[in-house]
Structure 1
């Protein structure tokens, strides 16, 4: 029997006194009040406090409102990891608008599509990217008027192709530093729009809500035991899943945003030494930059720097390299649709007693759900039931909870498919161990089926990374008249290394069953996305013409 009104709802109203929508905007408000003079942003010679940063964010919001931009209007930005990018993560949603961070490595056609699809009302552009933006603006098909705001950065220099827009500093100066921004009316309101890297067709627009951004930002603190006043180095692009929500995380901890225009080994090492960096994030390729940097360059690096790695499963060799560097590595996993990282390979004290190879094997797993994510499981996509936790039975990683997107913008069919059965379907194939830890085996599209046998490209790649000459490796399917498909390995060698295809094959034979050994080896630099992920779709196109090895 049900009652129209619950006993515990009678005369117990939800009011402003006992309920406030969750939003990461509250973090900067509190930090500016409690730690107004603490350092917030470092960029070249710039040193900006939290009170100054908060005032600039409010000015940005005020000026956007004055320009007629408000609730649910899209503001796009094409910026590197510089102060305006930090400010946009607060100022844009303070105006009630939705922040669309554009991948700075995209071509003009894709940028134009995103501006039109997201119905951007304004765009903030760094001088480095004005040539691309100029072409994108010319390619736009939409009729929505677009306010162009141009940033000036002394560390880069003048724009190669000025757009004739409003200077960013003038736009900021015209705003009210005491602008009375309001909490979102509903924590389900959109805060950000992030486009997936579309490998086929147009990219999909992933919509984040204030609640999810708030919760994932706090989960970041919990997974890392992140202290107050942490010094965070921006190696991870802020355009990628809003920097895994770390702009909001750093504000919550009254930390320091150390900006970095370019991700290079020397720049990272210099920043760590100069600013006392305590935390940074990056894909495996970023970590490899440090592991493989010359010994002289790494001299004097402090031990204990905390780094978070995500992307394709990091190879054991990289994990071992980070340990030898003295860095404290945390492995996380996620996707754009779950705000970046949503699982963590939570470590146990007894792992410290194991040899480094076994520690690397355990740390290479994608792990368990983030603190504030409701669930992360490996399910059979047909039955939607959990697979046996035997470390062998493959299923698909699925998520449910607050750290999940609202859906795909203007794409109800894709949204429905992504949330079928009440779970977000990641598309990643994995196993789950008795301890509940998840281990990715492959993307569903990356499994190689050879003579009826399934070959995990990740398993083969992990073996390739163990070769001392290999800097980066990727394995894709190569059409084969006899077997249907066979593995084709693309290998990028370390500087100065010399090795033959036969050497690589011989190495693989020591560690893999015969049918898993690559039948073709291609040497050269691997194509990568702006976040360091290897572009397998590009390699699949090349694999068809790769020559087989007599093995």
Structure 2
């Protein structure tokens, strides 16, 4: 006879069930660490008590301004206290937070404002020119609020009131919104839009809550952690660290610009313990250290993702004194879902071998339920032999709700009961995943698959190469062959020729994988460090 576990007295009630939400992280930090510094920005300092009060004031002010539950509040600003406050204040008003990429042009910003039907638009004064141009194009007419950050350079007021004036309309003592369902939307993040218009990814309270806990666990953060904002807060809500730091009562150090010297100085001045960034940021730190002689006086943990990092970059970053944690994920998955979880026995490996182990994307995080690499048609998992490629697929509580106003793209993304990343990878014998390419970036030469990432990894080993990207180039005989775009390190000693680079590749790659063409010059990247390869392919067509 089975137990009656469905009896009425065993059901959910306020005492045993509450919707998961990161909003509670702020309230706890204010209770437990009221006088600890929560936010550092230039000369500004806010304690957790003050930070919580400002977030609640923002929520109250938005509600008094007519913002209703489910409406969108957009913000265009670099890494500043106002963006951190919006991460709590906007959902505490029941609204949806939309953090805009600060590198977008006016047309893209206008599209997003219209698509999400923005009710309020918070704009950093330094970005007023592009924001003003976007508002002239957009159909919506949101309440525009000027953020007058003391460290902003230039710009003009374009709004009805300033951010501080808006805050004064609110009252921290008033009750704030609390989600009734943890699957309610908390934020809206737009993809980079490499083809057509960007898609709006809807995050939910449950996914953010779980991602925050995972990030803290895997980045090994606690109440003594001091987090430097080198990662854009607009990208996946700063990989959810915008909320997560509050969970442990750590300290945010805001930084408007990502400059190597400023990063090293901030680490030294504020005792920074943790930061995040794309491999391009790591490369910037490596080049900056070589140029200035700056170095770490104590270890700093850096979590890196955004593009497959070359092993040479990871090796050189560790040599500077950073503890590197390589992770992987997607905007559609609330950011990080996979990490190269480190084994102590790997510490004794030679540097070159260590870096190659670390370059693998790894295994699922503690809150990611299922991850497989499988044939995208049959969904049969690939063998763990490090050779057969398949697509990385996920099932997780950190999956997005879907794409705003785009049911077709949502169904395609979740086809077959899995979230489809479009990334091609192999699985090694130990179960660790290693990405080989995006499905659309794989190069097929004479019937053989060539991983652009593998070729890039070799190019990064050249002492004169600062950055590299590889795409397919049409070839009458082979169908496609690799074409490499290269940024050289500054200085006359690094001026190498196409022939010299090709010869270097011949020593490290199979003959059919060696690039047939080298194009020198700057490589355009997104704010999150990703190369827009569709642009490079167009350039190749023009020079072919």
Same fold (TM over 0.5): yes
> What secondary structure, in the 3-state scheme, does the structure 1 residue paired with 2:537 have?
helix
Kindly state the Cα deviation for residue 294 of structure 1 after the two structures are TM-superposed. Answer: 4.0
Q: Is the 8 A contact 1:520 1:546 kept in 2?
A: no
| 1: CA distance, partners of 2:158 / 2:121 | 11
* Correspondence for 1:264: 259
Output aligned runs, 1:518-533, within 5 Å.
518-533=515-530
Alpha-carbon distance, 1:250 to partner: 0.6
Matches of 2:433 and 2:160 in 1, distance apart? 49
SS in 2 for 1:293: helix
Query: 4+ runs of 1 displaced by more than 6 Å?
Result: none
Deviation at 1:8, TM superposition (A): 3.8
Q: Are 1:440 and 2:435 an aligned pair?
A: yes
Q: Aligned residue for 1:70?
A: 68
Mapped to 2, the partners of 1:209 and 1:265 lie a distance apart of 34
Residue 496 (structure 2) aligns with: 499
Match of 1:292 among 268, 287, 294: 287
Contact 2:264 2:295 in 1 (8 A): no
**CA distance, structure 1, for counterparts of residue 393 and residue 174 of structure 2:** 41
Pick the aligned partner of 2:31 from 13, 30, 33: 33
CA contact (8 A) 2:422 2:438 kept: yes
State the match for 2:107 in structure 1: 109
- 1:320 — aligned with what? 315
In structure 2, relative to structure 1, the CA distance for the partners of 1:183 and 1:223 (3 Å cut) is same
Report if the CA contact (8 A) 1:151-1:168 is conserved: yes
Q: TM-score by structure 2 length?
A: 0.98
In structure 2, the CA distance between the partners of 1:176 and 1:158, relative to structure 1 (3 Å rule), is farther
Measured in 2, the distance between the counterparts of 1:520 and 1:456 equals 16
Pairs aligned (count): 542
State the Cα deviation string for residues 282-302 of structure 1 (Å, max 9, x = none).
Answer: 000001111111447343522
Q: Do the aligned partners of residues 35 and 316 (structure 1) sit closer, same or farther apart at CA in structure 2, a change above 3 Å counting?
A: same
Residue correspondence of structure 1 range 406-425 to structure 2 within 5 A: 406-425=401-420
CA–CA distance in structure 1, aligned partners of residues 297 and 467 of structure 2? 26
Structure 1 counterpart SS, 2:542? coil
Q: Is the 2:288–2:294 contact (alpha carbons within 8 Å) kept by the matching residues of 1?
A: no
Separation (CA, whole Å) in 2 of partners of 1:299 and 1:201 = 42
Q: 1:183 to 1:164 in 2, by over 3 A?
A: closer
| Correspondence list, 1:128-167, <5 A | 128-142=126-140, 145-159=141-155, 161-167=156-162
Question: For the residues of structure 1 that align with 2:239 and 2:202, how far apart are their CA atoms?
Answer: 14
SS in 1 for 2:327: strand
Aligned equivalent of 2:268: 273
For the pair 1:79 / 2:77, whether they are aligned, the reply is yes
**In the TM superposition, what is the alpha-carbon distance from 1:164 to its structure 2 partner?**
3.3
Query: 2-side partners of 1:251 and 1:546: how far apart?
Result: 51
Query: Secondary structure of the residue that 1:306 maps to in structure 2?
Result: strand
Q: Which residue of 1 aligns with 2:43?
A: 45
RMSD: 1.4
Question: Contact 2:391 / 2:423 at 8 angstroms: preserved in 1?
Answer: yes
Distance in 2 (alpha carbons) for counterparts of 1:179 and 1:447:
55
Q: Where does 1:147-546 land on structure 2 (aligned, <5 Å)?
A: 147-159=143-155, 161-295=156-290, 297-299=292-294, 301-496=296-491, 497-546=494-543
Gap regions ≥5 residues in structure 1: none
In 2, the alpha carbon distance for the partners of 1:61 and 1:286 equals: 34
SS of alignment partner, residue 431 of structure 1: strand
Q: Distance in 1 between matches of 2:300 and 2:127?
A: 32
Q: Is the 8 A contact 2:100 2:109 kept in 1?
A: yes
Task: List gaps (5 residues or longer) in structure 2.
Answer: none
Using the size of structure 1 for normalisation, the TM-score is: 0.96
Q: In 1, Cα distance between the equivalents of 2:399 and 2:300? A: 29
Question: For structure 1, which segment, 295-304 or 112-121, has the greater mean C-alpha deviation from structure 2 after superposition?
Answer: 295-304
Q: 1:151 to 1:337 in 2, by over 3 A?
A: same
Separation in 2 of the partners of 1:219 and 1:327? 21
Alpha-carbon distance in 2 for matches of 1:524, 1:489: 11
